[in-house]
Structure 1
Amino acid sequence: MAGGKGLVVVVVLLLGALADGGGVQEYLAVIEVPNGGPWGVWAWQEMCPEGTYATGFSTKVEAYQGLVNDDTGLNGIRLHCTRGDRGDKHQDHTVESQSGMWGRWSEPTWCPPGGYLQRFSLRVEKIRGGMRDNMGATNIRFACSGGENLEGHGLSWGENGVWSPTCQKGLCGIQTKQELPRGALRDDTALNDVRFFCCRQ
Protein backbone atom coordinates (compact mmCIF):
# COMPACT_ATOMS: atom_id res chain seq x y z
CA MET A 1 0.00 0.00 0.00
CA ALA A 2 1.18 3.53 -0.75
CA GLY A 3 2.97 5.05 2.20
CA GLY A 4 3.66 1.66 3.80
CA LYS A 5 2.03 2.63 7.06
CA GLY A 6 2.02 -0.98 8.32
CA LEU A 7 0.14 -2.09 11.38
CA VAL A 8 -0.09 0.77 13.82
CA VAL A 9 -1.40 1.07 17.32
CA VAL A 10 -1.09 4.55 18.73
CA VAL A 11 -1.41 4.10 22.47
CA VAL A 12 -1.99 7.61 23.71
CA LEU A 13 -4.74 9.24 25.71
CA LEU A 14 -6.54 11.66 23.42
CA LEU A 15 -9.82 13.53 23.42
CA GLY A 16 -12.36 13.11 20.62
CA ALA A 17 -15.21 15.57 20.26
CA LEU A 18 -18.66 14.01 20.02
CA ALA A 19 -20.47 14.52 16.75
CA ASP A 20 -23.62 15.70 18.53
CA GLY A 21 -21.82 18.12 20.84
CA GLY A 22 -23.02 16.22 23.88
CA GLY A 23 -19.69 16.12 25.66
CA VAL A 24 -16.27 14.53 25.23
CA GLN A 25 -15.55 10.85 24.74
CA GLU A 26 -12.08 9.77 25.78
CA TYR A 27 -10.26 7.11 23.83
CA LEU A 28 -7.11 5.20 24.56
CA ALA A 29 -5.79 3.95 21.23
CA VAL A 30 -6.27 3.97 17.46
CA ILE A 31 -6.37 0.67 15.56
CA GLU A 32 -5.63 0.33 11.84
CA VAL A 33 -4.88 -2.34 9.24
CA PRO A 34 -2.15 -2.23 6.56
CA ASN A 35 -4.16 -3.07 3.42
CA GLY A 36 -6.36 0.00 2.93
CA GLY A 37 -6.70 1.47 -0.55
CA PRO A 38 -4.41 4.33 -1.68
CA TRP A 39 -6.99 6.86 -2.84
CA GLY A 40 -8.71 9.64 -0.93
CA VAL A 41 -8.05 11.62 2.24
CA TRP A 42 -8.89 11.07 5.89
CA ALA A 43 -12.18 12.68 6.93
CA TRP A 44 -13.32 13.75 10.40
CA GLN A 45 -13.60 11.37 13.32
CA GLU A 46 -16.92 10.65 15.01
CA MET A 47 -17.17 9.29 18.54
CA CYS A 48 -19.83 7.36 20.41
CA PRO A 49 -21.49 9.36 23.21
CA GLU A 50 -19.73 9.11 26.53
CA GLY A 51 -20.56 5.87 28.34
CA THR A 52 -21.55 3.98 25.15
CA TYR A 53 -19.76 1.36 23.05
CA ALA A 54 -20.14 0.01 19.52
CA THR A 55 -22.23 -3.16 19.71
CA GLY A 56 -23.27 -3.29 16.05
CA PHE A 57 -22.57 -1.82 12.63
CA SER A 58 -24.10 -1.09 9.22
CA THR A 59 -22.51 -0.80 5.78
CA LYS A 60 -23.37 1.38 2.78
CA VAL A 61 -22.61 -0.60 -0.39
CA GLU A 62 -23.13 0.03 -4.08
CA ALA A 63 -24.27 -3.18 -5.79
CA TYR A 64 -22.29 -4.52 -8.75
CA GLN A 65 -22.91 -2.21 -11.72
CA GLY A 66 -21.99 -4.57 -14.58
CA LEU A 67 -19.08 -4.81 -16.99
CA VAL A 68 -19.28 -1.34 -18.53
CA ASN A 69 -20.24 0.81 -15.50
CA ASP A 70 -18.13 2.18 -12.67
CA ASP A 71 -18.17 0.25 -9.36
CA THR A 72 -17.35 1.73 -5.96
CA GLY A 73 -18.12 -1.16 -3.59
CA LEU A 74 -18.04 -0.09 0.08
CA ASN A 75 -19.11 3.54 0.54
CA GLY A 76 -19.71 3.89 4.27
CA ILE A 77 -19.60 2.28 7.72
CA ARG A 78 -21.77 3.14 10.71
CA LEU A 79 -21.16 2.15 14.31
CA HIS A 80 -24.22 1.59 16.49
CA CYS A 81 -23.35 2.63 20.04
CA THR A 82 -25.35 1.49 23.06
CA ARG A 83 -25.23 2.17 26.81
CA GLY A 84 -25.29 0.14 30.00
CA ASP A 85 -24.80 -3.58 29.38
CA ARG A 86 -23.88 -2.71 25.76
CA GLY A 87 -26.90 -4.53 24.44
CA ASP A 88 -29.88 -2.12 24.40
CA LYS A 89 -30.51 -1.91 20.66
CA HIS A 90 -33.59 0.29 21.09
CA GLN A 91 -31.52 3.25 22.29
CA ASP A 92 -28.55 3.10 19.95
CA HIS A 93 -26.68 6.19 18.73
CA THR A 94 -25.17 6.04 15.24
CA VAL A 95 -21.77 7.48 14.22
CA GLU A 96 -20.23 7.19 10.75
CA SER A 97 -17.56 9.79 9.78
CA GLN A 98 -17.72 10.54 6.02
CA SER A 99 -19.56 8.22 3.62
CA GLY A 100 -19.61 8.01 -0.18
CA MET A 101 -22.64 9.02 -2.25
CA TRP A 102 -23.40 5.64 -3.84
CA GLY A 103 -25.21 2.59 -2.53
CA ARG A 104 -27.69 1.79 0.23
CA TRP A 105 -27.36 1.25 3.95
CA SER A 106 -27.85 -2.24 5.32
CA GLU A 107 -29.80 -3.08 8.43
CA PRO A 108 -27.59 -3.20 11.57
CA THR A 109 -25.63 -6.36 12.34
CA TRP A 110 -25.25 -6.86 16.11
CA CYS A 111 -22.96 -8.71 18.46
CA PRO A 112 -24.81 -11.21 20.70
CA PRO A 113 -26.36 -9.69 23.86
CA GLY A 114 -23.68 -8.35 26.18
CA GLY A 115 -21.05 -8.33 23.43
CA TYR A 116 -19.33 -5.41 21.70
CA LEU A 117 -17.03 -4.86 18.72
CA GLN A 118 -13.31 -5.27 19.46
CA ARG A 119 -11.34 -5.51 16.19
CA PHE A 120 -11.81 -5.52 12.40
CA SER A 121 -10.52 -6.74 9.05
CA LEU A 122 -10.94 -4.84 5.78
CA ARG A 123 -11.61 -6.42 2.39
CA VAL A 124 -9.87 -4.45 -0.37
CA GLU A 125 -9.47 -4.94 -4.11
CA LYS A 126 -5.89 -4.63 -5.34
CA ILE A 127 -5.00 -1.84 -7.75
CA ARG A 128 -5.95 -3.09 -11.21
CA GLY A 129 -4.00 -0.59 -13.32
CA GLY A 130 -4.52 0.93 -16.74
CA MET A 131 -8.10 1.80 -17.66
CA ARG A 132 -9.61 -0.95 -15.49
CA ASP A 133 -12.21 -0.23 -12.81
CA ASN A 134 -10.86 0.12 -9.25
CA MET A 135 -13.07 -0.15 -6.17
CA GLY A 136 -10.89 0.37 -3.08
CA ALA A 137 -12.53 -1.28 -0.05
CA THR A 138 -15.35 -3.73 -0.78
CA ASN A 139 -16.36 -5.09 2.66
CA ILE A 140 -15.52 -5.19 6.36
CA ARG A 141 -15.82 -7.73 9.16
CA PHE A 142 -15.68 -7.31 12.93
CA ALA A 143 -14.92 -9.58 15.86
CA CYS A 144 -17.09 -9.33 18.98
CA SER A 145 -15.91 -9.63 22.58
CA GLY A 146 -17.44 -13.11 22.84
CA GLY A 147 -15.41 -14.39 19.89
CA GLU A 148 -18.11 -14.12 17.20
CA ASN A 149 -17.17 -12.75 13.75
CA LEU A 150 -19.63 -10.48 11.92
CA GLU A 151 -19.46 -10.02 8.14
CA GLY A 152 -20.63 -6.83 6.42
CA HIS A 153 -23.04 -6.79 3.48
CA GLY A 154 -20.34 -5.87 0.98
CA LEU A 155 -19.04 -7.30 -2.28
CA SER A 156 -16.91 -10.41 -2.82
CA TRP A 157 -14.16 -8.76 -4.87
CA GLY A 158 -10.78 -8.27 -3.23
CA GLU A 159 -9.13 -10.02 -0.32
CA ASN A 160 -9.59 -9.84 3.45
CA GLY A 161 -6.56 -8.38 5.16
CA VAL A 162 -5.15 -9.28 8.55
CA TRP A 163 -7.10 -8.57 11.70
CA SER A 164 -6.38 -5.31 13.47
CA PRO A 165 -5.15 -5.20 17.06
CA THR A 166 -7.87 -5.68 19.68
CA CYS A 167 -9.61 -2.94 21.66
CA GLN A 168 -10.09 -4.74 24.96
CA LYS A 169 -12.86 -2.38 26.12
CA GLY A 170 -14.47 -1.99 22.72
CA LEU A 171 -14.66 0.48 19.84
CA CYS A 172 -16.02 3.96 20.50
CA GLY A 173 -15.19 5.94 17.36
CA ILE A 174 -14.54 5.84 13.61
CA GLN A 175 -12.65 7.77 10.93
CA THR A 176 -12.86 6.97 7.21
CA LYS A 177 -10.61 7.65 4.24
CA GLN A 178 -12.74 8.65 1.26
CA GLU A 179 -12.08 9.52 -2.36
CA LEU A 180 -14.48 12.30 -3.36
CA PRO A 181 -16.50 11.94 -6.60
CA ARG A 182 -14.23 12.58 -9.58
CA GLY A 183 -16.84 13.49 -12.18
CA ALA A 184 -18.31 11.95 -15.32
CA LEU A 185 -16.42 9.16 -17.09
CA ARG A 186 -13.76 8.95 -14.36
CA ASP A 187 -13.09 6.03 -12.03
CA ASP A 188 -14.49 6.41 -8.48
CA THR A 189 -13.50 4.27 -5.51
CA ALA A 190 -15.33 5.92 -2.54
CA LEU A 191 -14.23 4.36 0.80
CA ASN A 192 -10.62 3.20 0.78
CA ASP A 193 -9.64 2.80 4.42
CA VAL A 194 -10.92 3.13 7.98
CA ARG A 195 -9.53 3.38 11.50
CA PHE A 196 -11.28 2.94 14.84
CA PHE A 197 -10.77 4.36 18.33
CA CYS A 198 -10.56 2.16 21.43
CA CYS A 199 -12.72 3.03 24.42
CA ARG A 200 -10.82 4.06 27.54
CA GLN A 201 -13.30 2.47 29.95
Structure 2
Amino acid sequence: MNHFISMMFSLLVITGLQVSVKAEEKRHKRSSSRHYISELTVSNGGGWGSWGYRDMCAEGTYAAGFSLKVENPIDGDDTALNGIRLHCTDLSKGSKAYHRYTSVQSDVGSWGRWKDIRWCPSGYLTAFQLKVERSQGNGDDTAANNIHFQCSGGSILTGDGTDWGDWGSWSQTCQGKGICGIMTRVEEPQGRGDDTALNDVRMYCCT
Protein backbone atom coordinates (compact mmCIF):
# COMPACT_ATOMS: atom_id res chain seq x y z
CA MET A 1 0.00 0.00 0.00
CA ASN A 2 2.78 2.42 0.93
CA HIS A 3 4.56 1.55 -2.34
CA PHE A 4 1.37 2.35 -4.29
CA ILE A 5 0.96 5.72 -2.55
CA SER A 6 4.61 6.54 -3.22
CA MET A 7 4.20 5.73 -6.92
CA MET A 8 1.06 7.88 -7.20
CA PHE A 9 2.80 10.81 -5.46
CA SER A 10 5.76 10.56 -7.85
CA LEU A 11 3.37 10.53 -10.82
CA LEU A 12 1.62 13.67 -9.55
CA VAL A 13 4.96 15.47 -9.09
CA ILE A 14 6.15 14.57 -12.59
CA THR A 15 2.80 15.63 -14.10
CA GLY A 16 2.98 18.92 -12.23
CA LEU A 17 6.49 19.61 -13.50
CA GLN A 18 5.42 18.88 -17.08
CA VAL A 19 2.47 21.28 -16.77
CA SER A 20 4.78 23.94 -15.27
CA VAL A 21 7.30 23.56 -18.11
CA LYS A 22 4.56 23.75 -20.75
CA ALA A 23 3.07 26.84 -19.10
CA GLU A 24 6.50 28.53 -19.10
CA GLU A 25 7.01 27.65 -22.78
CA LYS A 26 3.59 29.09 -23.63
CA ARG A 27 4.35 32.26 -21.66
CA HIS A 28 7.55 32.92 -23.62
CA LYS A 29 5.93 32.01 -26.93
CA ARG A 30 3.05 34.38 -26.22
CA SER A 31 5.16 37.26 -24.91
CA SER A 32 7.84 37.10 -27.60
CA SER A 33 5.20 37.37 -30.33
CA ARG A 34 3.63 40.64 -29.10
CA HIS A 35 3.51 43.24 -31.84
CA TYR A 36 5.89 46.18 -31.41
CA ILE A 37 6.14 49.38 -33.44
CA SER A 38 9.82 50.28 -33.05
CA GLU A 39 13.19 49.01 -31.80
CA LEU A 40 15.52 51.15 -29.70
CA THR A 41 19.29 50.70 -30.02
CA VAL A 42 22.50 52.51 -29.06
CA SER A 43 25.74 52.78 -31.03
CA ASN A 44 28.26 52.05 -28.26
CA GLY A 45 27.28 48.50 -27.29
CA GLY A 46 30.00 45.86 -26.89
CA GLY A 47 30.64 43.36 -29.67
CA TRP A 48 31.29 40.13 -27.76
CA GLY A 49 28.76 37.37 -27.34
CA SER A 50 25.50 36.65 -29.15
CA TRP A 51 21.96 38.02 -29.07
CA GLY A 52 19.48 36.18 -26.90
CA TYR A 53 15.72 35.81 -27.22
CA ARG A 54 13.28 38.72 -27.26
CA ASP A 55 11.01 38.84 -24.20
CA MET A 56 7.93 41.09 -24.17
CA CYS A 57 5.59 42.47 -21.52
CA ALA A 58 2.10 40.99 -21.53
CA GLU A 59 -0.49 42.72 -23.71
CA GLY A 60 -1.73 45.95 -22.16
CA THR A 61 1.33 46.39 -19.91
CA TYR A 62 4.54 48.39 -20.33
CA ALA A 63 7.83 48.72 -18.46
CA ALA A 64 7.57 51.26 -15.65
CA GLY A 65 10.66 50.03 -13.78
CA PHE A 66 13.84 48.02 -14.13
CA SER A 67 16.50 46.21 -12.12
CA LEU A 68 20.07 45.16 -12.88
CA LYS A 69 22.17 42.09 -12.15
CA VAL A 70 25.63 43.42 -11.31
CA GLU A 71 28.91 41.90 -10.21
CA ASN A 72 30.57 44.40 -7.88
CA PRO A 73 34.30 45.08 -8.48
CA ILE A 74 36.47 42.13 -7.46
CA ASP A 75 40.17 41.35 -7.29
CA GLY A 76 40.25 39.41 -10.54
CA ASP A 77 38.20 39.11 -13.73
CA ASP A 78 35.41 41.71 -13.53
CA THR A 79 32.21 41.39 -15.56
CA ALA A 80 30.19 44.37 -14.19
CA LEU A 81 26.68 44.41 -15.74
CA ASN A 82 25.29 40.90 -16.22
CA GLY A 83 21.55 41.33 -16.71
CA ILE A 84 18.62 43.72 -17.13
CA ARG A 85 15.03 43.08 -16.07
CA LEU A 86 12.04 45.16 -17.12
CA HIS A 87 9.09 45.31 -14.73
CA CYS A 88 5.81 45.64 -16.59
CA THR A 89 2.47 46.95 -15.36
CA ASP A 90 -0.67 48.82 -16.39
CA LEU A 91 -0.58 52.27 -14.78
CA SER A 92 -4.27 52.82 -15.53
CA LYS A 93 -4.88 50.54 -12.52
CA GLY A 94 -3.68 53.34 -10.22
CA SER A 95 -1.26 53.02 -7.31
CA LYS A 96 -1.91 49.27 -7.07
CA ALA A 97 -0.17 48.83 -10.43
CA TYR A 98 3.24 48.88 -8.75
CA HIS A 99 2.24 45.85 -6.68
CA ARG A 100 0.85 43.96 -9.68
CA TYR A 101 3.70 43.69 -12.12
CA THR A 102 5.40 41.00 -14.17
CA SER A 103 9.08 40.86 -15.09
CA VAL A 104 10.73 40.09 -18.42
CA GLN A 105 14.37 39.57 -19.32
CA SER A 106 16.51 38.22 -22.12
CA ASP A 107 19.82 36.36 -21.71
CA VAL A 108 21.69 37.01 -18.46
CA GLY A 109 25.34 36.57 -17.40
CA SER A 110 26.46 34.13 -14.71
CA TRP A 111 27.85 36.56 -12.12
CA GLY A 112 26.60 39.13 -9.64
CA ARG A 113 23.26 39.64 -7.93
CA TRP A 114 20.01 41.44 -8.70
CA LYS A 115 19.70 44.95 -7.34
CA ASP A 116 16.53 46.73 -6.16
CA ILE A 117 13.86 47.83 -8.63
CA ARG A 118 13.93 51.45 -9.77
CA TRP A 119 10.47 52.76 -10.75
CA CYS A 120 9.49 55.78 -12.79
CA PRO A 121 7.83 58.37 -10.49
CA SER A 122 5.26 58.66 -13.28
CA GLY A 123 4.86 57.14 -16.72
CA TYR A 124 6.70 54.35 -18.49
CA LEU A 125 10.30 53.84 -19.68
CA THR A 126 10.72 55.42 -23.11
CA ALA A 127 14.49 55.61 -23.92
CA PHE A 128 17.84 54.40 -22.62
CA GLN A 129 21.56 55.19 -22.53
CA LEU A 130 24.30 52.58 -22.01
CA LYS A 131 27.64 52.95 -20.22
CA VAL A 132 30.24 50.73 -21.92
CA GLU A 133 33.95 50.18 -21.41
CA ARG A 134 35.91 49.92 -24.65
CA SER A 135 38.21 46.97 -25.31
CA GLN A 136 41.19 47.02 -22.93
CA GLY A 137 43.49 45.05 -25.22
CA ASN A 138 45.41 42.72 -22.92
CA GLY A 139 43.62 44.19 -19.89
CA ASP A 140 40.41 43.12 -18.18
CA ASP A 141 37.37 43.79 -20.37
CA THR A 142 33.94 44.39 -18.83
CA ALA A 143 31.87 45.72 -21.78
CA ALA A 144 28.49 47.13 -20.55
CA ASN A 145 28.61 48.56 -17.02
CA ASN A 146 25.45 50.58 -16.37
CA ILE A 147 22.28 52.04 -17.89
CA HIS A 148 20.12 55.16 -17.76
CA PHE A 149 16.40 55.11 -18.54
CA GLN A 150 14.17 58.05 -19.40
CA CYS A 151 10.55 58.00 -18.20
CA SER A 152 7.63 59.46 -20.13
CA GLY A 153 7.00 61.72 -17.12
CA GLY A 154 10.43 63.33 -17.68
CA SER A 155 12.51 61.64 -14.97
CA ILE A 156 15.90 59.98 -15.60
CA LEU A 157 16.65 56.75 -13.72
CA THR A 158 20.22 55.52 -13.12
CA GLY A 159 21.04 51.86 -12.61
CA ASP A 160 23.18 50.34 -9.87
CA GLY A 161 26.01 49.38 -12.23
CA THR A 162 29.74 50.05 -11.96
CA ASP A 163 31.75 53.15 -12.95
CA TRP A 164 33.99 51.84 -15.73
CA GLY A 165 33.50 53.02 -19.28
CA ASP A 166 31.73 55.96 -20.87
CA TRP A 167 28.14 56.92 -21.51
CA GLY A 168 27.14 56.73 -25.15
CA SER A 169 24.39 58.67 -26.88
CA TRP A 170 20.74 58.14 -26.01
CA SER A 171 18.59 55.81 -28.02
CA GLN A 172 15.62 57.22 -29.87
CA THR A 173 12.49 57.80 -27.77
CA CYS A 174 9.46 55.53 -28.02
CA GLN A 175 6.75 56.94 -30.25
CA GLY A 176 4.23 54.59 -28.67
CA LYS A 177 3.14 54.33 -25.05
CA GLY A 178 6.45 53.00 -23.76
CA ILE A 179 9.06 50.24 -23.74
CA CYS A 180 7.44 46.81 -23.79
CA GLY A 181 10.28 44.35 -24.48
CA ILE A 182 13.98 43.58 -24.33
CA MET A 183 16.75 41.60 -26.03
CA THR A 184 20.33 41.38 -24.70
CA ARG A 185 23.71 40.43 -26.12
CA VAL A 186 25.65 38.31 -23.63
CA GLU A 187 29.03 36.59 -23.85
CA GLU A 188 29.04 33.07 -22.41
CA PRO A 189 31.60 32.16 -19.71
CA GLN A 190 35.08 31.92 -21.25
CA GLY A 191 36.53 29.38 -18.82
CA ARG A 192 40.02 30.69 -18.10
CA GLY A 193 39.55 33.60 -20.51
CA ASP A 194 38.42 37.20 -19.95
CA ASP A 195 34.67 37.31 -19.23
CA THR A 196 32.51 40.33 -20.11
CA ALA A 197 28.90 39.02 -19.64
CA LEU A 198 26.36 41.61 -20.91
CA ASN A 199 27.57 43.65 -23.89
CA ASP A 200 24.57 45.31 -25.52
CA VAL A 201 20.79 45.63 -25.35
CA ARG A 202 17.82 46.43 -27.58
CA MET A 203 14.45 47.69 -26.34
CA TYR A 204 11.05 47.47 -28.04
CA CYS A 205 8.18 49.97 -28.02
CA CYS A 206 4.45 49.26 -28.18
CA THR A 207 1.35 51.41 -28.64
The alignment status of 1:188 with 2:195, answered yes or no, reads yes
Letter in 2 for 1:110: W
Determine the structure 2 residue equivalent to 1:137: 144
Q: Is the 8 A contact 2:32 2:55 kept in 1?
A: no
- Return the match for 1:172 from 162, 165, 180: 180
Tell me how far 1:65 sits from its aligned partner: 0.6
Q: What secondary structure sits across from 2:53 in the alignment?
A: strand
Determine the structure 2 residue equivalent to 1:122: 130
Higher radius of gyration, 1 or 2: 2
Letter in 1 for 2:131: R
Tell me how far 1:21 sits from its aligned partner: 3.5
RMSD over aligned CA atoms reads 1.7
TM-score w.r.t. structure 2 length? 0.83
- Return the match for 1:75 from 82, 89, 95: 82
Closer, same or farther: CA 51–23 of 1 in aligned 2, 3 Å:
farther
Determine the structure 1 residue equivalent to 2:50: 41
Percent identical among aligned pairs is: 51
Closer, same or farther: CA 84–148 of 1 in aligned 2, 3 Å:
closer
Q: Is the 8 A contact 2:148 2:159 kept in 1?
A: yes
The alignment status of 1:103 with 2:109, answered yes or no, reads no
Determine the structure 2 residue equivalent to 1:149: 156
**Unpaired stretches in structure 1, ≥5 consecutive residues:** 1-16
C-alpha separation between the residues in 2 aligned to 1:60 and 1:26? 27
Aligned residue pair count: 179
> Relative to total residues, which structure has the larger helix share, 1 or 2?
2
**Unpaired stretches in structure 2, ≥5 consecutive residues:** 1-25
Determine the structure 2 residue equivalent to 1:5: none
- Return the match for 2:61 from 38, 43, 52: 52
